[in-house]
Amino acid sequence: MGDGGSPPEFKKLPKIAYHDAGPSAFEHVYRYFPDPKFAWALIHGGGWTPSGDFPYTREQIAAEAAKLPDDWNDSSSLYDGYGLSILRSGAGDNKRAFWTIYGRPRGHTQDDIMSYGLQAHEGVFLEHMGYPRNWGYWEHSWTSHFGARQFPYERMSATAQYCADAGIAQVTQTRAEKLDDQSGSNKVINIDPDHWQRRTLALIDIDPERFYCVDFYRISGGDEHWWPFHCQEGEFSTSGIDLTAQQGGTLAGPDVPYGDETWLAANGCTKGGYGWSGVKFAFAHLYNVEKGVPSGPYSADWKLKTGDGLGLRLTTIAPEQSELNVCDGTSPAGGNPYEMKWLMLHRTGEAPLRTQLVSIIEPYDREAAVTKVTPIAVTGNDEAGFAAQGVVVEAGERTDTVLCATDATTTRTTENGLRFAGSFGLWAEKDGVPVAVSLIGGTELTRGGLGITLQSPEYRGRIVAVDHNAAGITISPSPPAPQAMVGNSIFIANTVRRVAYKVLAAEEVDGGVKLTLNMDPLVATGQVSGADAHVVKSQTPFQLQGYRYYHGARVHTADDKAQYQILECRSGTGAIIDPALHPEASAEKLAAEFPEGSWFKVYDYGVGDEVVWPYTVSVRLVREGVYEVIAPVDVTITLPDGSTRR
């Protein structure tokens, strides 16, 4: 993600314990943050010897590293500061990862918000196009990634809704929305309720060697939607859709030649020192166009050129009035380093246009395990008039029904007899007998009286006290099983902000439960240079300004006696207080509370913010007649006759 890498080409990768920054970087960070995970990276770095000025011996670092098991990083994980969610499963050479980027880092970035990547079989299947390739726009463009874009094009910011391991299913959900930041001029940040995306991604194990991924995707806003997909070079084929070759031209049109500068200029692109750039840049650089209208599920299959029998199949259930464009593409920077197929799914309609699709992504060795993909109707409307989504995936002897919705308060039914109330559900069966059931953020997933029911889809409470220095919060009411929160991610939210933290410890106290969280909540500090109405002025630079990193956080005085919810911290301006929430924040009042020369602090959260913890429940057949149940709270599990629960 971001700048770096090379064009996608499968190769087996070496096993590493850390990224390419090297051991000196981990020595440096360990001096300031002596976390066992950094010690683990050093010890497993292959022949690492402490530098001459490193104040710890190898034996000391080894002792710290031993506090972590070797599989400590094998589960799914959420890195909310970066805006990165990684789904993981498998073991040894069969490890796999399906990840999504929803953050907006400040530098060396690409237009990849809401995109994803896929790694398996000791290599990479899905990734961006590498960088720099002569520093052109092709690699930066959203079309070289996997995230849809609405037109008119708008910039977005996004948050994680959950990331969970649920038995054989690992699942994450993110939501992006249009960002209109007028915090500097009009002291407001507008969020468009009609312009957003929601993406639910799942990695589902078939067996220790095989798996598939599901992508439930909702796109709202504008009057035109485009969704790009590419894999790698290799033999390519499609099924389930009739394609007709366009006579000449490019994706921009049959009369638009490759790289046509007149078309680029007329469609919002500009020319600079590194050539042309703009959100429609790729349209005049994708060629050999074939078009088709989906009438049901269709598939695209790549047999990887360098994969030695490996391939990838994408099966998509697209909405009505969609058009699939299959194109060829290569880097416009010259040299023809590759030529591969691009899929560009297109849909137009009256604004706000709403598009919903489901995709199944399966990497395979020699032969795909998934034999059939069928949409299944799910009753009841969901958010913004969308229907809840469902798909049946057949793989060998197993039949999986995968369900997705937003409104967990509605109990829905499917045509194959399931009852579902939740955010995500998986019902896997063989010969009519359930072998795995997973439910996230829900209260029911049953069929014929068998399955999972629980009273609430999630814990919701409020922060009633904070200990910022110790990364601690006290929440109330007390959750039903506080110790079950340890090791899991919770979400702290207010009306405009949602951030994720992992719980390290939970302790029952008077009035609630005290949680110790995994990160320092201090996200900014600045030296006060004055005050205006709703602004604590500062000349301190704020490198993370923009993209709502600070939106909804709390600015505190040096003595913590006063605090305000803010819109933004802006370089050259300072902390901008939300005037709608704090009309009393006059220049005179702020000047008295924030004296010049003092330092203000900005924290991620504060008293009154909501704490949300979606419940994850999984049931798995571990041997004949015996089911393993994992649940954070009391649940009702009804199993087939004669079965037992362990």
Closest CA to 558 of 585, 592, 584, 535: 592
Closest CA to 459 of 481, 438, 431: 481
Give the Cα separation of 166 and 631 in Å (integer): 9
Q: How far apart are the first and last CA of the chain?
A: 41
Helix (H) or strand (E) holding 425, with range, is strand 424-430
Place of tokens 């405009």: 496
Helix (H) or strand (E) holding 173, with range, is strand 169-182
Q: What is the pLDDT of residue 17?
A: 67
* Inside any domain, residue 627: no
Mean residue pLDDT across the chain: 96
Give the confidence band of 130 by pLDDT, cuts at 50, 70, 90.
confident
Residue 4 pLDDT > 90, yes or no? no
> What share of residues in the chain are helix, strand, coil (percent, to 5)?
10, 45, 45
The 10 Å CB-count burial string (b at 16+, else e) for 81-105 is eebbbbbbbbeeebebbbbbbbbbb
Asked if 370 and 380 sit in the same domain, the reply is no
Give the Cα separation of 403 and 418 in Å (integer): 10
Residues above pLDDT 90, as percent of the chain:
90
* Inside any domain, residue 621: no
What's the structural domain count of the chain?
5
Residue 576 pLDDT > 80, yes or no? yes
Asked if 431 and 312 sit in the same domain, the reply is no
Asked if 89 and 197 sit in the same domain, the reply is yes
Give the Cα separation of 13 and 198 in Å (integer): 32
Please, are residues 600 and 526 in contact by the beta-carbon 8 Å criterion? yes
Q: Which of 73, 95, 111 is the last residue of a domain?
A: 73
Asked if 66 and 91 sit in the same domain, the reply is no
Of 38-47, 267-276, 279-288, the least confident: 38-47
CA gyration radius, the chain: 26
Helix (H) or strand (E) holding 120, with range, is strand 115-120
* Inside any domain, residue 534: yes
190 CB-near residues (< 8 Å, 6+ apart): 180, 182
Please, are residues 143 and 342 in contact by the beta-carbon 8 Å criterion? yes
Per-residue tokens: 517: 């969280």
* Inside any domain, residue 293: yes
Please, are residues 396 and 371 in contact by the beta-carbon 8 Å criterion? yes
Give the confidence band of 7 by pLDDT, cuts at 50, 70, 90.
confident
* Coil, helix or strand at residue 28: helix
pTM above 0.85, yes or no: yes
Asked if 67 and 96 sit in the same domain, the reply is no
Per-residue tokens: 232: 């790698």
Asked if 285 and 388 sit in the same domain, the reply is no
Domain containing residue 500: 458-519+610-614
